[in-house]
Amino acid sequence: MLAFALAVFFLIITPGPGVLSTAGVGSAYGYNAGIRYVTGLFIGTNLVCLAVITGLAAALFSLPVIRIILFSLSTAYLFYLAARIAFAGAKISFVEAQSRPGIGAGILLQLINPKAYAVNTALFTSFLFAPDNFLFETGAKLIIMNIIWIPLHLIWLAAGVRLHRLNLNATTQRRINIAMALSLVIVVILAVGSVFTEFKGMA
């Protein structure tokens, strides 16, 4: 159980689309928008967990076309989200400041993010500490994951919100938003590279 908790901690605390976008939304839009976004991520994460536990995810990802579609959608959406963070407050039609990522954005990110399925599959099929009691082990893992998930995402959100509340001048705030967005883009590019390597190995 301890090994499982440590795995969850390090998988969540390391920079990935979820935590980086959380910090970015906090920095660009503030606490209220950030809380709504994290709420969406929380709901989406648990929906992915249920899909993994019930075997639905395994059935879907056994079809290569589904994997390609989900990966393409998640990549495009992360680039779009990065653009919204980078240009928050700018007068650009598709990234207007009042159009803030909310609960729906967080849910969508998790549901179309292949990494979320891969991580949860690894966690729920490994680290067996009660192999004779599936319900207890699965329930315990869900509780442990959420106990760790919630505060870590709130810490990343607080870091972003702190930048937002410094009342920096517009130029400095825009540079910070762009830096947040670029960090998210780098993660996406690394993910694209790993998927291409995987497909090359399958060929």
CA distance 85 to 188: 15
144 in any annotated domain: yes
6 in any annotated domain: no
CA distance 202 to 99: 41
> pLDDT, tens digit, for every residue of 143-201?
999 999 999 999 999 988 887 777 777 777 778 778 877 877 777 676 665 555 554 55
Polymer length of the chain: 203
* Structural domain that includes position 196: 16-202
Task: Find out whether 27 and 163 touch, Cβ atoms under 8 Å.
Answer: yes
Structurally, how many domains does the chain consist of?
1
2 in any annotated domain: no
Tokens 């729906």 label which residue? 104
Alpha helices, DSSP H, located in 55-164: 56-61, 64-86, 103-111, 114-125, 134-164
> pLDDT, tens digit, for every residue of 84-125?
777 775 544 344 445 678 899 899 888 887 778 878 888 888
pTM listed for this prediction: 0.77
1 in any annotated domain: no
> CA triplet 25, 29, 33: central angle to 5 degrees?
75
132 in any annotated domain: yes
138 in any annotated domain: yes
5 in any annotated domain: no
81 in any annotated domain: yes
